[in-house]
Structure 1
Amino acid sequence: SGLLNAGGSYAGTNVLVSIPQTVTSGTYRVFFTTDARNQVYEHTANDNNASAPVTITITQTTADLQVTAVSDPPSTLLSGDQLSVFWTVRNLGISPANSAYWNDRVYLSPDGVLGGGDDVYLGSVQRNGALAPNESYDATRTFTLPAELEGAFRIVVATDFDNRVVEGAFEQNNTAASLNSLIVSLRPAPDLQVTAVAAPTSASAGQPFDLAWTVRNFGPGPANGSWYDSIYLSLDQILDEGDTYLGYSSRPANLAVDASYTRTASLTIPKGQAGLYYVFVAADAGNQINERSRESNNLGYDPVSMQISLLPPADLVVGTIDVPVNGVPGRNITIDYTVENQGENPAQGRWTDSLYLSSDDHWDVGDLLIGRVDVQANVPGGGSYSRSLTAPAPGVNPGLYHVIVRSDILNHLPELNDANNLRASLDRVDMDVEVLELGVPTEYDLASGAAAYYKLDVPAGETVRFVLDSISNDADTEVYVRYGEMASRTKFDFAANEPFHADQTLTIPAEQTGTYYVLVYRRAVSGSQRFSLTANLVPFSISRAASTAGGDSGQFTIKIEGAKFAQGTEFELVAPGIDGEIYGAVRKFVQNSTVAYVTFDLTFA
């Protein structure tokens, strides 16, 4: 930099230049070029900016990665077994590895030499970190042998397979093989066959029917894993792509040799289907179990065809609905109702009625389900049926609610008019929530999958701590809190829902005066179902500091949990001892009255 006058000169200082490790050994000429970027205007004198060459001899020094040890395999294994491989790689070169990572690959080879197209790739392991001369590392990995592998193999490990490390003349010695061979035999395969299918001789379109079938393993090996069986309707005794799929049933367990299982399922015949049909079952329909050459015999069917008839249309109309005067979310309520068949034809078969709570007399997707009633009946034209449902009331805000009944919710029955299957009760249920008093524990029994609801009035500026104590230690419980509206597992302001915890503690800032709604949900429980819930106001305090250590080289931040924090709250770090030094916060962020993030600086502490 600077001005260079005409006739002037400057002397360059010694510059240390790194020669790339990829440069191979040999004799080279070194040139020095001035104004290499043509920043100086020289008119026609640009052709003399290079110096005369200086000859130098370069000797390339590189790493030399070699696999120095490969573990011997067991003498025999079956295809699909686990194989653990251990190996050692050492840098026998005079330079460190120039890459900070590379990949080692593991193969099975019939002759112990890679190449020839007969090697079986098992997997790779990434090495992270350079390797100095004469340093080594050990690696181990467990691989799953291919399901169809068979033969004698040696383990071969190839280090730096992608050639990320420059090794010059030593690139060809990166593989090593185990001394002994592994004999892999084909694992005996199962042979799943459907041995029996039992369908009814008659059924109705749009209606469910019950099916039973049996699958046996005739193969020499067990069927390990999970699979599913699929069910079809066919007009003939040959299953093809044009046949009707009805559903599937999962099989989540192993099946030993010569063992069998029998499954039952309720399947619904599509509307409009009529005629004589055969019911087929395809075992392991997704081919998740390797049966090798025995995959073509997985089908079975009932040799007696099933007569499917079209039902004449009925006309279900919801009649009277009797509801209780009061209800509590989470507690059982009983609803009695009647449905009339105003059509001329009978309503026969099976169908489902659904009951909802609604703030008005019109059903919409926001109305919460109380429960379902499965109906199996033959209701003549002009007749009716009555049913009763006792179920926990859903979590709704306090208020008056209609009960809405939707008959045949799944449309299993053919009807002249589906629009009149819905009706709201004339009377309404007065829903209210149990009050949770501050400082007073409340107890209740809560089964798996059940919920309990509470409400609590809190003035603004307070901090509330909810403590849930389950009698059983084998419980999985959640707590949710929401201001102004009923809490649910998907709509809440605060939550304590760590999985597999029988007890939960939740501290919340009450930033607004009003009602806070609490949901206690029990995912699972073993033993006593009883729990207690207590809510207490918490005074100004610190309950937890998320970080317990900080270095003396700079700043660190602590998450502090407690109660009644404010923007003006001052946080200090005090060293132990009577005259412990005090460190003030250099920065703070008060998220709310229960959580603050505080930064301290302990440089030179």
Structure 2
Amino acid sequence: AIDAASFDASDVTIAGPTGPIVASQVEQLGADKYRVHFSAQSEEGAYHFTIGPNIQDFAQNWMDQDEDGLKQEPTDQYQASLTIDHTPPRVVGNSLANVQNAAVRSFEITFSESIDPTSFDRDALTVTGPTGSVMATQVDPLDGNRFRISIAGTESDGTYHVVVEPTLADLAGNPLLEEYEFDFVQQLPDLRVTFGDYPLECVPGQQIEIQWTVTNVGQGAAAGGWTDRVYFSSDDGGNDGVELAQLEFDQLLPPGESYTRVATVTVPAEARGERWVVVKADGLAVLDEIDNTNNTTVLQPPLLITERPYPDLRVSELTAPSTLAAGELVKVSWTVQNSGSGATTAGSWFDALYLSSDATLDDSDVKLTKLKNLDFLAAGESYVQSIDVHVPESTPRGTYFLIAATDIDNVVQEFDREGNNAATSDNAIDVVTPPPAFLTVTSIQVGGTLEPGVRPTFTWTITNTGGTTIDYGWSSGTGWDDALALSRDQVYQEDQDYWLGSHTYWHGLPLAPGESYTSTGTAENRVPAWEPGTYYLVVIPDTHFGAGSAFGQSVINRDYGVAEVQIAYTVPDLAPISLTIPENATVGQPLNIGWSVKNAGEGQTRTNNWSDRIYLSTDGVLDSEDIPLGTVPHNGTLNAGTNYSASTTFTLPGNLSTGTYHLILKTDNTATVAESDETNNLLVSSSTVTISRVASDLQVTSAEAPAAGVAGQAITIDWTVVNSGGDPTAAGTWTDAIYLSDSATFDLRKARVLKEFSHTGVLASQGTYSRSELVPLPQHMEGTFYLFLAVDSRKELFELDAEENNLQAIGTAIEIVDHQPDLRVASFSAPTTAIADHSIELEWQIENVGSGSAFPNWQDAVYLSKDDILGPEDGNPLVTLTRQAVLAPNGTYSPVASPVSIRLPDGIEGTYHIILATDSGSTLYEKGSEQNNIAIRMIEIEDLAADLQVVSATIPVAGQAGEFIAIDYTAINRGREDATGPWQDAIYLSDDDQFDPTNDRLIGVLNHAASVGIDQTYKPQMMPAYVRIPDR
């Protein structure tokens, strides 16, 4: 009992969330029971109470709360706490994030505060899955605010819905704020054996390889590890069997992915007859799968365990020389014997010979050759392989072994006797490396003195003085080319010597040791203009690039050859040998002359252009008084002893005095050509030409034209010309021209020639001629213009000082109007809806609203466009119609065959625009009025395509390579349009269940000719269809 006098409100300390709380009274309720009073509290938070330690019982024992015998210490106070909590709990998370790839059997829920575990049992939540309600089996608290919920796991894919009811409460009794619900997705894997490979026959006790592929065909990833089991079964149901192997897989297998395993197993010694190979993926059933019933696959066909006689191929009597030369041929032979008790099951196989650095055949060895055996081999029979084999030139010098192997592709079934198919040479063989190939220039034939500017021809011989055959080179290894150069000394220096050429001197492969080839080639470049003297021709074998990098660019070891050559000049000599002139000529008129020049020297001209000059001379002696008529250029070199001829026409000067003249020809008048004799370059004509003067004067006496005209149409122009001079015209032909100008002042540079008219016949003094001609006005022009007549417009007559009166204005001005058509789409009708690959009908009318007629031909075209703008991206028109008749102003026309039927393209759908364009090629000139040539109509196009689907197929479960199998199938048209024949159905052979046309093998094509309606089916024309399985 407590002494009430020692316990009052001062012994009580209270602290709340907002600070100290004063105890107002301590009320005794019994000998050891008291009630402490204080003001009512409602603030959420923690409250702390401290009582003592200065309180005693009636025996005057003070408080010793920590029971250490020391009383009234601070640690002897009694302390207590409580919390006022008005906030309901809430769920802050669950453990089921992302997709679950294993069957969910438990999950965790975390709350915002501690939960009264008595309020949270399995009735406080519901779980619903794809197949219905899932029972919660147990709720276990992990921490105050974290619980584990166990459920009955289901192996079903889909979405699961979890609801936590608001019946549970926190420690203060506050119920869950609201119902909490969440979803989780379960996607389980599904392992299936999709492929198997194994020998079809074996013997008891033999070790064989069994290969299989497991594919995850489920929606969820499979997480390793699990164990695949392989066993033999005595029936095709896989119901019993002898386990052969267990292989563990410990990696992640995503959906759609596969893995392949190979197990080497021993066939039971007591096994006989047919055994089915059974593979069970996840054989220990550790994975949760959507379907556990498809993990076991019985592979077909069964394996035959036999005791029949079988072959045993062995290699013996391998003979080879003790030394091999790299890069050369060597004869090797070996014997293959069937030492078994039965004949080979295959009629052909391959043997091979290998070069090995040791006596063991492995992947590092070099295969030297491969030979085919072409017949069966009975028990005890043998054959000999003998061949000249090439040892690679790249083989390093050293010690090697030859290994001969038979049946390298394992096509002969030898069961447990496959391990003795190879034999190694009895002794090691030394491989020696012969000297490398080397190209040596052994002879050079120059053929005489070299002349600058010419391209001489040379002959040379090159020998392979090395020890190996040259079977490599440039240009994809097909050969090499030689080069020629000129040098001032006997040492080739690419930066100083002159390059004559290379790429035309080609030699192909091969070239054995000691063999030679002789080439004759003409220099690509001409001999340079070096000083006469002694030089050296350099022949360089194997140069693939041009000068400046040639000698360093070879693939074959070589050296160059040198031969002495002489360079000397032979000099040309140009001499005129003929000059032809007329007897008479007229001042201001043409003078025709011709001449020939010969190279009388010993050498070709070293320049290829010079000029010849013609003079008029009164005395036949060339001096400063003579009159130059002109210069004629000559192009091209001239060889010794050859000549060239030339001719030209000069117009005699108008101020030339009349009289008798010689003509003088001076060839190479600027001394461009270096010649042996420069004094014989002149030739004076042996005859003379008499030059006279004609005083004629053409002038226009009248010229008339209409005051108005239409662009593109002809007008009539009349004119009269008189020769007012004292002499008849010197020539009988000249040209009159009609000009059109936009200015009343004539400017030849701006005026336009409308038409030219030739006059024929000499016009006597005071003689006249008149012309009346139709002259077409240009198209596409309009306004005020001016006509001019020019007599002798080309200055074919010399009139001395009387040329000014040859030009005459025709009238004052002419007004030209331009009457052009203007095509307009007057009407255009088209449907608003259509079906792709079907025909539609269009109607239209075109009107000429212009002032001029439209002349043929032009085209109307119809386009299909995704927008309402006609552009290059719209491609070719759907239809093009040509208008072949004139369309007068205000005239109209429609297509001859109206309405026009056009077929829409296949495979299109959506909103399109039909665009009609008249004069689509802009053939007509419409004076800027082409904007009304187009009409547009919108159309909705639907694509009702056929859709062929295979709905059933009958395929045998097994077949033999090289044999035919029967295949039957049914296909249906699920589309919205008939499938129109013909087409082809194809049958492929695949090593998996995924169609891949690039890797799968096409084994059959079936033709189908008839159409198939909507929802109609069809089968192969020949039922069933037979296709052949390819040979291995």
TM-score w.r.t. length of structure 1 = 0.42
Bigger relative CO (Cα 8 Å, ≥ 6 apart): 1
TM-score w.r.t. length of structure 2 = 0.26
**Highest Rg: 1 or 2?**
2
